[in-house]
Amino acid sequence: MFEDLKKQVGLIIQEHQHNSEVAMTAICEVLQSSVDYYDWVGFYFKNGDKRELKLGPYVGEPTDHTVIPFGKGICGQVAESNQNFVVPDVAAQDNYIACSISVKSEIVVPLFKNGENIGQIDIDSETPDPFSEQDERFLEWVNQQVAQIL
């Protein structure tokens, strides 16, 4: 599944290399529609010089959390840790920002440009504990592709 998705993401990057917003929206759409446990797929980016994240392109239910301070929630923690954060059960997390009660699990993978953590891809799932290392490797790869056109 991920090999086929990589081809599709590669084509999107090629086609929209001069419009990263369009490319990221198309990537969110293809990921969300292809992986049954990817229910909300979006990108957050550092908001200028502020220590906060701002919501970028996404697909799924609209969220109230369009700005997230560094350190808050899973996303805010990844902004500081520079590490992937896989949450098999969101109910077991103290520092978690709930977007919808139907969400059971989440994965956040940082996006690096020239070695700097400038954003992240965030995926919410309504399936408990669905994410494996394959998701991590795939989403790292997606972020590397996106970084090339930012």
Which residues 124-143 are close enough to bind ligand SME by CB under 6 A?
A: 124
Q: Which long-range contacts (CB under 8 A, 24 or more apart) does 18-26 make?
A: 18/149, 20/146, 20/149, 20/150, 21/56, 21/57, 23/146, 23/149, 24/56, 24/57, 24/146, 25/57, 25/59
| Only segment of 30-38, 91-99, 112-120, 140-148 that touches ligand SME (CB under 6 A) | 91-99
**Closer of 85 and 138 to ligand SME (Cβ):** 85
CB nearer to ligand SME: give 22 or 67. Answer: 67
Task: Give strand pairing partners of 69.
Answer: 52
Closest separation in Å from C-beta 14 to ligand SME: 28
Q: Which residues bind ligand SME (CB under 6 A)?
A: 40, 63, 65, 68, 73-76, 96-97, 99, 106, 122, 124
